Amino acid sequence: MTFKDYQQLVAQLNCWSHAYHVLDAPLISDSEYDATFQELRTIEKQHPTWIVSESPTQRVGDIVSSVFRKIPHEIKMLSLENAFSLEETNAFFLRAAKSLVDLEDFEKLDNLLADTTIKKAQELKSEFKALATSQLFETLPIFSEPKLDGFAISLHYENGILIYGATRGDGEIGEDVTHTIKTIQSIPLKLQTDTPPEILEVRGEVFMTKAVFEQLNQSENVRSFVNPRNAAAGTIRQLNPQAAMERPLQFIPYGMGAYSDEREFTRHAEILSYFGEIGFKTNQNCRAFLASETAFEQDYQRMEALRDSLPMEIDGIVYKIDDLNLQEKLGFIARSPKWAVARKFPAQVMTTTLLDVDFQVGRTGVLTPVARLEPVFVGGVTVSNATLHNMDEIGRLKLCIGDKVQIHRAGDVIPKVVKVVSEGEIRRAIVMPAHCPVCESEVIKTVNEIVYKNKPSKKITTYHCSGGYFCAAQIVERIKYYASRNCLNIRQLGAKLVEVLCEQGVLNNVADIYRLQIADIANLEGQGEKNAAKILAAIEASKHTKFSTFLTALGISEVGESGAKNLARHFKTLDKLRAADEEALVQVPDVGAVTAHNVRTFFDDTAQNQLVDDLLCAGVFWDENENESIENKQSLSGQTWVLTGTLSLPRNEIKAKLERLGAKVSGAVSAKTTYVLAGEAAGSKLTEAQKLGIKIINEAQFLELTQ
Ligand code: IVH
């Protein structure tokens, strides 16, 4: 037995495993596979130095002991906007077509119209744009894929070898779950190609088939999972890979993250078939067609008819613009692309009785009515609460306590009361309390008018607790929000724990998080010293944040994630933001008078200002030079860069920066290369670039270009 024989044996086993797990076409019997696998084990015992990372014996490693390692995603992991009807789907792609039309240069048209009167010219121009939009819409190439109901994962391969697998996390930073990912047999440990890309990130969904879920549900220990998606997510987040191995999951890719290779793709469909070629299972039942209302409807009906017969749960269809060039032009907003949408299957419907209505006090003091229902089983879970949105909604529904109501539940969305089915025998009116149910401060009613461009304006009545930052409910919600995923993302400090700590009087404001001691947590039920130490470590780690994240986490009314990013980008430092008056604030993109006023009021409030200082004193910090990622302003979009020679900045840093700005980084020079960034002692790539007449720049020029 030589090392070469050993390698061949590994390749043979991987080939059989691929045939079985990916192609569903076994080449040999299970017992033959097992016998060869044992043979491999024996050889590896005799020659431990031979073991290669793609050996099937390497799928189950050691138990990971602590919190998962954080992994930044070089390319953000996006989510999808939802469409719940044909109209919404159509409207989404019409908006995409409109954006593409708006990106066009209308100089010629402007010249043509120069002679006509200005008003007429403007009218003609918008007429023309509308026509161009509807025409462009019909040429959009759409790729339709089943929307797998599982858990998003990014697999990072370097030169064909699986290096790590990460969860999506907040989209920018995920968690290292390589140990459980490796147990998934349909994920190749080594890509099946002789010419692997230098870097390839394969993104897709990990899921559990319906059959496996049902089987597992028979056994005692997994009863707690309500559906296959939760079971998949729970399995991936196991510390023990052996346990993951026992709950077989599958993986199907749907997109690409970081990538550097010569091979170029022009269509999304090509990427998916490339994934098939290099050893992945592919999403079946995909279709390509041109955008039209009829095509979307037909495709939806096709998938709806297929749904029950599929081996895995799907919760809708994903429609993507297949042309990568158009995808790049459209870009994304906040967390979802402007070129893809999820058409969700309709909500599941059930009837039950409205037992009571409670009023929940939110982070900003708004009181929301919540329906307490007679428990009912809808779409795999028992529902006993549902949102009622606001008092206007209750009026519109003509709802009273005691009525029989219809409940809708769609995916992860909070269940909703949609209508009264029949009035109850004994009915009780739903009344907004005069005082906050938590702090007893007076409840204040406000009527706001929302003015729309094309439809009649709407009046919305809101009620809020006047207790402000002294209301215990608002404090709890603010602390939960501060620690939540889109803010400081202190996963270990979940909503339940915050509630308990607030109840015990340990947490009285956001800054108290950083004053927590082991004993505060260790003595709580179900915690213990070890857990408490983990939580404190996570809190400590959260101190290093980004300016925009910190701003989001402060929870200033109307300042969400994207508003905070705009403010951070504009003012750059907290001092400058604190000093800005309303006039300066409205200069920030997308910041209107209301938001500007809220920001000013927040920093003018002594208690709030003190809280900000307390957080900084507690050690919360960020790097002021760190670029806030500039979404949709990808100034290098469409460019291809090649790096060569010795550079003073780390290569992955340069690469990440270029990719953030929309450029592709390739490993080889070709006619398509836009720039070659050449450092000291550059070799053949530099010569090749000179031969092809490609622009060559040095590091100083690179910095200037990417500022
Ligand atoms: S594409 C930039 N395709 O659904 C586009 N997502 O609700 C990223 N999902 O985060 C997503 N099947 O985890 C895409 N065929 C599919 C999908 C799919 C399931 C998941 C994915 C995504 C979530 C959004």
Label residue 413 by pLDDT band (50, 70, 90): low
Residue 344 buriedness (CB in 10 A; 0-12 / 13-18 / 19+): buried
- Taking a C-beta distance cutoff of 8 angstroms, is the pair 473, 367 a contact? no
- For 265, the token pair is 């793709």
Does pTM top 0.75 for this prediction? Answer: no
The b-or-e profile of 88-127 (16+ CB within 10 A means b, else e) is ebbebbbebbbbbbeeeeeeebeeebeeeeeeebeeeeee
Rounded distance between C-alpha atoms, residue 73 and residue 255, angstroms: 14
- Going by CA atoms, what residue is nearest to atom 7 of ligand 1? 80
The pLDDT of residue 188? 97
pLDDT value for 429: 96
pLDDT of residue 698: 86
Sequence letter at residue 245? M
Instruction: Name the band, by pLDDT with cuts 50, 70 and 90, for residue 116.
Output: low
What confidence score (pLDDT) does residue 522 get? 92
Residue 134 confidence (pLDDT): 93
Centre of ligand 1 to C-alpha 135, Å, is 28
Q: Is the dihedral of CA 135, 136, 142, 148 positive or negative?
A: negative
Residue 64, pLDDT score: 77
The beta-carbon contacts of 478-483 under 8 Å, at least 24 apart in sequence, are 478/363, 478/509, 478/510, 478/555, 479/507, 479/509, 479/510, 479/512, 479/513, 480/363, 481/363, 481/553, 481/555, 482/510, 482/513, 482/553, 482/554, 482/555, 483/513, 483/542
pLDDT-derived band at 98 (thresholds 50, 70, 90) equals: very high
How far, in Å, is the centroid of ligand 1 from the Cα of 144?
A: 12
Q: How confident is the model at residue 626 (pLDDT cuts 50, 70, 90)?
A: low
Residue 105 is predicted with a pLDDT of 67
Mutate to test the pocket of ligand 1, among 75, 80, 275 (most ligand atoms within 8 A of CB): 80
Give yes or no for residue 255 CB within 6 A of ligand 1. yes
> Could you tell me the two tokens for 167?
């969860």
pLDDT in tens, 512-560: 999 999 999 998 888 888 889 999 999 999 999 999 999 999 999 889 8
What residue's CA is closest to ligand 1, atom 23? 79
Lowest mean pLDDT among 114-118, 206-210, 473-477: 114-118
Q: Give phi and psi for 319, each to the nearest 5.
A: -105, 125
Separation of CA 677 and ligand 1 centre (Å): 35
Q: What angle do CA 127, 128, 131 make, to 5 degrees?
A: 90
> pLDDT by residue (tens digit) across 437-459?
999 999 999 887 777 666 778 88
State residue 632's pLDDT score: 43
Per-residue pLDDT reduced to its tens digit, 359-387: 999 998 999 999 999 988 775 567 899 98
Whether the pLDDT of residue 680 is over 80: the answer is yes
Residue 55 to residue 13: CA distance in whole angstroms: 8
How large is the average pLDDT for residues 664-693?
A: 85
Task: Give tens-digit pLDDT for 299-341.
Answer: 999 999 998 889 998 999 999 999 999 999 999 887 899 999 9
Q: Percentage of the chain surpassing pLDDT 90? A: 60
| pLDDT exceeds cutoff 90 at 499 | yes
Q: For the ranges 84-98, 251-265, 411-425, which has the lowest average pLDDT?
A: 411-425
Which pLDDT belongs to residue 203?
98
Q: Indicate whether residue 313 lines ligand 1 (CB < 6 A).
A: no
Decide: 281 and 252 in contact? Cβ < 8 Å: yes
pLDDT for the residue 631: 42
Q: Which of 52-66, 185-199, 683-697 has the highest mean pLDDT?
A: 185-199
Average pLDDT score over residue span 419-430: 94
Is there an atom of ligand 1 within 6 Å of 337 CB?
Answer: yes
Cβ of 254 below 6 Å from ligand 1: yes
Is 482's pLDDT higher than 90?
A: yes
Task: Give the integer Cα–Cα distance in Å for 655 and 643.
Answer: 8
Q: What is the mean pLDDT of residues 223-238?
A: 79
User: What is residue 227's DSSP assignment?
Assistant: S
644 within 8 A of 676, measured Cβ to Cβ: yes
Contacts of 417-426 with C-beta under 8 Å, sequence gap 24+, read: 417/354, 417/371, 417/386, 417/387, 417/388, 418/349, 421/351, 424/353, 424/354, 424/400, 426/402
Q: How far is CA 469 from CA 23, 233, 433, 508, in A?
A: 59, 36, 20, 10
318 lines ligand 1 (CB under 6 A): yes
The crossing angle, in degrees rounded to 10, of helices 118-137 and 86-103 is 120
Mutate to test the pocket of ligand 1, among 76, 82, 205, 313 (most ligand atoms within 8 A of CB): 205
Catalytic annotation, pick one of 119, 129, 147, 281 = 147
DSSP 271: H
Instruction: Report the first-to-last Cα separation within the chain, whole angstroms.
Output: 57
Q: What is the DSSP letter of 469?
A: G
Yes or no: say if 493 and 483 are a contact pair by the CB < 8 Å rule: yes
pLDDT recorded at residue 200: 97
